[in-house]
Amino acid sequence: VDHARRSKLRANHSATHLIHEALREVLGTHVAQKGSLVAPERLRFDISHNKPISSEELEDVERMANEIVVQNSPVTTRLMSV
Rounded Cα distance between 46 and 19, Å, is: 11
List the chain domain ranges. Answer: 3-68
pLDDT at 75: 87
pLDDT at 5: 98
Rounded Cα distance between 75 and 69, Å, is: 10
Per run of 10 residues, the mean pLDDT along the chain (length 82 residues) is 96 96 97 97 97 97 95 89 88
pLDDT at 7: 96
HEC assignment per residue over 21-53: HHHHHHHCCCCEEEEEEECCCCEEEEEECCCCC
Q: What is the architecture, at CATH level 2, of domain 3-68? A: 2-Layer Sandwich (3.30)
Residues 6+ apart with CB under 8 A from 27: 49, 53, 57, 61
